[in-house]
Structure 1
Amino acid sequence: MVETVAIASTGDDLSTIFGTIWTASTTALEQPDSRTMLIALAISLILILLRPLWRIARNVITIAHEGGHAVAALLTGRRLSGIQLHSDTSGLTVSYGKTRGFGFWLTCFSGYLAPMLWGLGCAALVSSGYATGALWLLVLLLALMLTRIRNIYGAFCIISVLATVIALSWWGSPPLRLLSATSLAFFLQLGSIRPLLELQSQRAKGQAGRSDADQLAQLTRIPALAWIILWSVLAFLGIALSASWMGLRI
């Protein structure tokens, strides 16, 4: 009898928690004003341009990158084996299937595109007033990704980001949640560009022969540099679109 009451109480608690999350996620906040957007933009640029901070923040871009590979693999019917995140901020997503065709092409192509797309989605939610929803959606995506992580450092990265986002989403004030989601949108999109510059620098030194761009070049006969340029153009288009949605003139 006591156990039944305890179980019921636990169920009620979970129902209350999920109800609170749902209400917060579906309750529209104000759109970010110019001050909030400028602060968010400054935070993003500081994280990207200052090397010591970028060395840490780049892990977030890697998470988005490998998440993009994983989603594309699942959507095209490939068997996803696992994801690894490494301390040098590189990553590896292992999937099985044909090494030619649309599924393999999309899996290779999606990695460098993913941070911009995640940021674009976040910007769409923020501009619609659902900044809190954007944060809780990120919590869900990170939790799902955690089930596919296959190394200790990768688990540490995901759990660290997950704990941070949960804390902001649950205990953060509405202005703080709005600033956090806006900063995340800017960081993911602006931060998607620097790895492309780093990739081309590595390729020029002959140090990235198995990069996504080189695999695409081998698959399609289109030069790797062309893929890097395409990703860069799409990133800038995404930034312009997000800025327009949020009323920031660039």
Structure 2
Amino acid sequence: MTITKSISSSNSTYFWLYLIAAAILMQIPVVNLPFVWAATFFHELSHAIAAILTGGEVSRIQLFINGAGLCFSLGGIAVVIAFSGYFGAPIFGFLLYKLSKVTSNTYSKYLSISMLAIISLVLILWSRDLLTILILIVLGFSFFLSLKYLNTKWLKYFFKLFGMSIMLNGISSVVTLLNVGRQGDAYSLAQMTWIPALVWVLIWCATNIAILYSAKKYT
């Protein structure tokens, strides 16, 4: 019983350390760009996956230097597609955070290779403008460097920090929707469902906080 409590307390401490470290990194200009771009990448990828799963097709994904992004799709279920961005990105962050613990040393490298494969696939299938291509190359290069120059132990720490930053970005970016007015996914959902944008923001906040809290036991 004492050992269990000690491990739980240690996990909680490390969780908060990762959270604080990720929060600080997200505030440092230039240094924060790969983390911001990764969060946007998974946000738009979530839209794309939702479009495909609901019978639509994706024409292109566009990323911007300031961390904004767009996913252009045809067909599919519009409500599901619009909802999926702020819901899906933190799930990707959670998976990166979780898999960094449950995988063996060898599979940590496979996780990095998988990230490179996903980025490459989006680059080939849905990238149409130079800026998006450059951002994806930078993201891909970040994972390539992590694979090439970090030993396996540090690679796990890298994924934990990366996953944490994506989950935190999911919460902070949802909060900013309160100030964007008549634009964004929340406004689109309000137009389609007659449910106020604030309700969608609160739903995303609740789910994203729940996802972040669930990551605590995987530290």
Q: TM-score, normalised by structure 2?
A: 0.85
Give the aligned partner of residue 62 of structure 2: 84
- Structure 1 segments of 4 or more deviating over 6 A? 32-36
Residues 120 and 140 in structure 2, CA contact (< 8 A), matched pair in contact too:
yes
| Matching of residue 243 in structure 1 with residue 216 in structure 2 | yes
Give the aligned partner of residue 5 of structure 1: none
Residues 19 and 164 in structure 2, CA contact (< 8 A), matched pair in contact too:
yes
Residues 60 and 128 in structure 2, CA contact (< 8 A), matched pair in contact too:
yes
Question: How far off is 1:37 after superposition?
Answer: 5.1
Question: How far off is 1:54 after superposition?
Answer: 4.4
What are the ranges of 5 or more consecutive residues in structure 2 without an aligned counterpart? 1-9
AA in 1 matched with 2:161: S
Match of 1:123 among 78, 85, 97: 97
Q: How does 1:152-231 map to 2 (within 5 A)?
A: 152-203=130-181, 209-231=182-204
Whole-Å separation in 1 of the counterparts to 2:167 and 2:38: 12
For this pair of structures, how many residues does the alignment match?
A: 206
CA-based RMSD of the aligned residues comes to 2.2
Quick one: percent identity of the two aligned structures? 23
| Matching of residue 105 in structure 1 with residue 79 in structure 2 | yes
Question: How far off is 1:33 after superposition?
Answer: 7.1
Give the structure with higher Rg (CA).
1
Whole-Å separation in 1 of the counterparts to 2:180 and 2:29: 17
Question: How far off is 1:211 after superposition?
Answer: 1.0
Residues 84 and 151 in structure 1, CA contact (< 8 A), matched pair in contact too:
yes
Q: Deviations over 1:69-113 (max 9, x none)?
A: 111111111121111112232111111116xxxx21111011111
Whole-Å separation in 1 of the counterparts to 2:22 and 2:111: 17
Give the aligned partner of residue 233 of structure 1: 206
What are the ranges of 5 or more consecutive residues in structure 1 without an aligned counterpart? 1-31, 204-208
Q: Tell me, what secondary structure is at the counterpart of 1:80?
A: strand
Give the aligned partner of residue 73 of structure 1: 51
Q: Which is worse superposed, 105-114 or 169-178? A: 169-178
Q: Deviations over 1:190-229 (max 9, x none)?
A: 11111112221222xxxxx231111111111111011111
Residues 47 and 54 in structure 1, CA contact (< 8 A), matched pair in contact too:
yes
AA in 2 matched with 1:133: Y
